[in-house]
Amino acid sequence: MAEMNPGLTLALAPAAGWVAHRLAERLTGARGAGPAPAVLLAMLAAVSACLAAPAHQPSAASLCLGGALTALALADLAALRLPDALTLPLTGAGLVVAAFDLANAPLRPALSLQALAGHAAAAAMGYLAFAGLALAYRRMRGRDGLGLGDAKLAAAAGAWLGWRPLPLMVLLACGLAFAWIGVRLLRKRRAALSEPIAFGAPLALALWICWLVRADLWFGL
């Protein structure tokens, strides 16, 4: 996957946001707030990818990840669902990117079985941790808290990031979710506590942030 010209990246972002909006609607059957939020999210993703990339030229892998996460966040916000049609291919794509180091060496990729095994193990860790939490919550409270869609998104995070960033990513996602709850409490008072939280949205944002800073924090792992 070659690097992308920043001008072209920003020019294509609105169209990518519209596609993410339409994809989220088609996969969930729910109507969101229209394409404007999706276009804004796509623009923010494109700008942040450009700023975080060496020489401000993001890799195509980063842009694919940003588009998929935008669609997933929109789907969860609209219908409290993270469709398998997005999470499962995203996990596979993350393993391919890791195995061939497409984010760092796009011109002459070489297969690394060690990287593939490590990121596959991280994907399994992410899924099992979230699925275990979901099962424990269901048994303790008698109702669902986390869904398996969140577990599958955590698996995608492991595939893209590896295992080292996963704990910090989860903490960041929880912090974003608590901030969101705080805003809702200010607006709706105690009534907000009875409303479900689309945890996939802060989880997607946390994954994106960790991906953008990976070179500095994870030493390329």
Residue 99 predicted with pLDDT over 50: yes
Let me know the angle formed at the C-alpha of 53 by 210 and 150, rounded to the nearest 5 degrees: 25
> How many whole angstroms separate alpha carbon 108 and alpha carbon 25?
37
Most confident of 30-34, 134-138, 140-144, 201-205: 201-205
What's the confidence (pLDDT) of residue 218?
Answer: 43
What's the confidence (pLDDT) of residue 153?
Answer: 97
Q: What is the mean pLDDT of residues 42-69?
A: 84
What's the confidence (pLDDT) of residue 191?
Answer: 65
Q: What is the mean pLDDT of residues 65-93?
A: 94
Q: For the chain, give the percent of residues with pLDDT over 70.
A: 88
**Type of residue numbered 89:** P
pLDDT band at 161 (very low <50, low <70, confident <90, very high): very high
Across all residues in the chain, what is the average pLDDT?
86
pLDDT band at 144 (very low <50, low <70, confident <90, very high): confident
pLDDT band at 217 (very low <50, low <70, confident <90, very high): very low
8 vs 85: which has the higher pLDDT = 85
Q: What angle do the packed helices 148-161 and 60-79 form, to 10 degrees?
A: 170
Most confident of 48-52, 62-66, 181-185: 62-66
The answer to whether the beta carbons of residues 3 and 58 sit under 8 Å apart is yes
**Total-model pTM:** 0.89
135 vs 146: which has the higher pLDDT = 135
